[in-house]
Amino acid sequence: MSSLQQVNPRVRGMRASPHAALQSLAARITQEILQGAQRSFKEVIDLTSGDPQRAGMKSISFVRQVLAACLCPHLLKDTSLPVDVRLRAQSLLDSCDGGSVGAYTPSSGLTRVRQSVAEFLTRRDAGAPSHSRDVYISAGSQVALMLLVKLLAGGEGETPTGVLTPVPCPPTLPGLLDGEGVALVPYQLTEGRGWALELSELHRALEASRGRCNPRAIYVSNPGIPTGHVQDRKSIEEVIRFAAAERLVLLVDEVDQDSVFGSEFISYKRVLFQMDKVYSESVELVSFHSLSSGRMGEGGLRAGFMEAVNMDPEVMHYADVLLCFDISAPVTGQLALDLMVDPPKPGDASYDTYTQEILSARATLSQNAQRAWQTLNGLPGVSCQPAMGGAYLYPSVRLPAGIQEQAEMLGVEPDVLYCERLLQEEGVLVGAGLHPGGDTHHLRLCVLVPPDSLEEALTRLSSFHLRLLDRFSPCEGLKDKDENVNLREKICQ
């Protein structure tokens, strides 16, 4: 066997995910259209990526102007740039070795940026102290999470480490855990309560894992990805007490904290530090944030951070060592993090434009979520919980028996077949559900896209859905066939 064939058996056994297969099909359809193929649509609309700038959303002017001046220092003398842009760029360059973004940085990130993040966290958490030594910059929040999972994973031959994981969860999480040999311990979120996290379900999941793995952590996404649920203080306190009682590390993904529109975001750390010392001084917590969040949408700059609270310094020393061997965050991404956590202030030349752009992006997200929620709930057999934050909606779909039978014959999940048909017939790419099985299936839609693109996608999706019901379920009892026709007429008006 050649060295190229000597692949880790875990990697060799991996198959392309349904999402990857759908993305590949979307790319093929796009290429066919560019080559002149005739279809009923002119382009594929992607509602899966969570990449707002790819979808056509605009970048924040202040961020791009400062980065431009850092990359091209001659712009520091360009008076067409606002004065605060030039001052910030000079200050950031001064924090780089050699005064250049082309220089290496410490593995955990530029000292200046780590300090800015710590100050931001202290302000956010009502004075609960953060320290730059506890902040680690990485090439995106997923890299930081993977690093923590590596530290938690057991050695060869040991009982596998388990991580309590919500269902549904971010689509990349199961693969990340599996890649490190860590067992996913599923706990079900309650759809009927807006995808709330129930304490009783955590206890059930933990008990069910006994003898199968050694649970060492609980992963929480707040705001929830892809559910849009935002936890309140009572729920967060319950999870913290549960983690303390069971001696679990809290891994809290808070990357959408700036995209909350139907509730109030409260960080886990803020709640922790407002609890009794028996919790605030002992519960091990690592939280994650990223440039790819809704407010910035700068996923391509590849930077995020984690803050470690009450973690053993020796453990975090190994985290720093692992960062040395991983891909460190690009310097431009680190500088953009500084701009995210320390934006223009009232009186600065860029303040008004920056504030207007941020509020516009937030309003678009909120209005899109409301518009999509209304449309989805108006379709027969579709039910969607309202999102309180984040960039996704996660509707449930009762699919006709006919398409479920076809899916079984093809060896795929019914919601995957639904997504494939939608893509083929209408050129709309949505994500399939993340927890297969049962009578109800789910779709995953990112609504952080330009409003006209969303409107077009919803029109196409509605038309497809009604055609599907006409084709497969004249007697399914979802809604009368004539009512489906009336709905289609309304959509086309």
Note whether 298 and 292 are within 8 A (CB): yes
**Angle, alpha carbons 223-220-364 (nearest 5°):** 15
Nearest partner of 138 among 267, 290, 257, 254, judged by Cα: 290
How many other C-beta atoms can be found within 10 angstroms of the C-beta atom of residue 399? 23
- pLDDT score for 325: 64
Given CATH 3.40.30.10, say whether it is the number of domain 16-46+362-492: no
pLDDT band at 291 (very low <50, low <70, confident <90, very high): very high
Residue 157 pLDDT? 67
187 pLDDT tier (thresholds 50, 70, 90): very high
Which residue ranges make up each domain of the chain?
16-46+362-492, 105-341
In sequence order, the β-bridge partners of residue 444 are 431
Angstrom distance (rounded) from CA 134 to CA 305: 10
Q: Are strands 396-397 and 428-429 parallel, antiparallel or unpaired?
A: unpaired
DSSP H or E segment with residue 312:
none
Long-range contacts of 129-133 (CB under 8 A, 24+ apart): 130/269, 130/307
Q: Which residue has the higher pLDDT, 449 or 324?
A: 449
pLDDT band at 344 (very low <50, low <70, confident <90, very high): very high
Q: What average pLDDT does the segment 427-435 reach?
A: 86
pLDDT at 427 over 70: yes
Pick the more confident residue, 402 or 114. 114
Question: Comparing 81 with 296, which gets the higher pLDDT?
Answer: 81
Better pLDDT: 73 or 478 = 73
* pLDDT for 360: 93
Q: Give the model's pLDDT for residue 275.
A: 97
Give the residue-averaged pLDDT of 15-19.
67
Residue by residue, DSSP assigns 417-460 as HHHHHHHHHH-EE-EEPSS--SS-EEEEEE--S-HHHHHHHHHH
Tokens of 270: 């803020």
As a whole number of angstroms, the distance between CA 41 and CA 381 comes to: 25
User: Of 378, 379, 358, 392, which is closest to residue 470 (Cα–Cα)?
Assistant: 379
Confidence bin at 316 (pLDDT 50/70/90):
confident
Q: How far apart are CA 225 and CA 48, in angstroms?
A: 12
pLDDT at 470 exceeding the cut of 50: yes
Which residue's entry shows tokens 């649509």? 41
105-341 — its CATH code? 3.40.640.10
41-72 pLDDT per residue, tens: 999 999 998 888 888 889 999 999 999 999 99
pLDDT at 135 over 90: yes
State the sign of the Cα–Cα–Cα–Cα dihedral 349, 353, 356, 360: negative
pLDDT level of residue 474 (50, 70, 90 thresholds): low
Q: What is the mean pLDDT of the chain?
A: 88
pLDDT at 473: 61
pLDDT for 205: 97
Identify the pLDDT of residue 17. Answer: 73
Per residue in 242-265, pLDDT (tens digit) is 999 999 999 999 999 999 988 899
> Whats the size of the chain, residue-wise?
493
With a pLDDT cut of 90, the percent of the chain lying above it is 69
8 A C-beta contact, residue 469 and residue 76: no
* Burial class (CB within 10 angstroms; exposed 0-12, middle 13-18, buried 19+) of 297: buried
> Contact, 59 vs 53, CB < 8 A?
yes
β-pairing verdict for 135-138 and 304-309: antiparallel
Task: Sort 68 into a burial class: Cβ within 10 Å, 0-12 / 13-18 / 19+.
Answer: middle
- Please give the structure tokens belonging to residue 225: 């990805």
Q: d(Cα 265, Cα 256) in Å, to the nearest integer?
A: 9
